[in-house]
């Protein structure tokens, strides 16, 4: 069964959990791939460097062979992660903002749909790390009065993220209440 559109939910006075409509930026795939490669590469390179160094100092051959095997064993899941995770994440991650709420769908293996009514939003933050700036991306974090924690929208175009943050800030200021 498909949930009713937001307009139907608004007319009835209630918000419903439903899939958000917007995908993140396609270039987020390259960003997530590079980030996964840097993290996974660091894990795989360490035993390889140790094996190479130990070869030159004439360490026991079994130790060197063991380190090369460890490198190969670590490389297989690392490569699978680098190739699979960014594509999967792009297919799953969704977001949407309306006059009434922020909707997110995120997750890799465990997927989480969330809706945050404007009346529950406490802060709206935008983050741009060095790699995100390289790809022209940003992350919006919407902190709510919820035990489930903040909602994050990763992989947004930086300009669009700034516009969304400004609009959400204006919308939450217009809502009566103290967001608790």
Q: Give the residue extent of every domain in the chain.
A: 30-89, 94-174
Q: Are strands 94-97 and 22-23 parallel, antiparallel or unpaired?
A: antiparallel
pTM of the model: 0.81
CA-to-CA dists, residue 166 to 20, 31, 78, 81, 122, angstroms: 20, 24, 38, 35, 14
**pLDDT score of 179:** 57
Low-confidence ranges of the chain (pLDDT < 70): 1-17, 176-180
Q: Which CATH superfamily is domain 94-174 in?
A: FACT complex subunit Spt16p/Cdc68p (2.30.29.210)
> Among candidates 94, 86, 91, which has minimal Cα distance to 23?
94
Neighbours of 16 (CB within 10 A): 15
**pLDDT score of 9:** 44
- Give pLDDT tens digits for 130-155: 999 999 999 999 999 888 889 999 99
Sign of the dihedral defined by the CA atoms of residues 126, 18, 26, 80, in that order: positive
């Amino acid at each position: 069964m498909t949930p009713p559109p937001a307009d139907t939910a608004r007319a009835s006075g209630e918000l419903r959990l439903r899939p958000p409509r917007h995908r993140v930026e396609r270039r987020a795939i390259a960003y997530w791939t590079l980030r996964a490669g840097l993290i996974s590469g660091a894990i795989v390179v360490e035993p390889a460097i140790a094996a190479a160094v130990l070869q030159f100092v004439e360490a026991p051959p079994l130790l060197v062979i063991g380190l090369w095997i460890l490198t190969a064993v670590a490389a297989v899941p690392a490569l699978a992660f680098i190739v699979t995770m960014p594509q999967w994440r792009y297919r799953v991650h969704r977001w949407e903002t309306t006059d009434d709420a922020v909707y997110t769908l995120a997750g890799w293996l465990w997927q989480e749909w969330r809706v945050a009514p404007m009346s529950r939003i406490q802060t709206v933050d935008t983050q741009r790390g060095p790699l995100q700036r390289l790809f022209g991306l940003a992350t919006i974090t919407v902190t709510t009065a919820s035990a489930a924690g903040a909602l994050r929208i990763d992989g947004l175009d930086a300009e669009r993220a700034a516009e969304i943050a400004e609009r959400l800030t204006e919308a939450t200021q217009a809502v009566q209440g103290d967001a608790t």
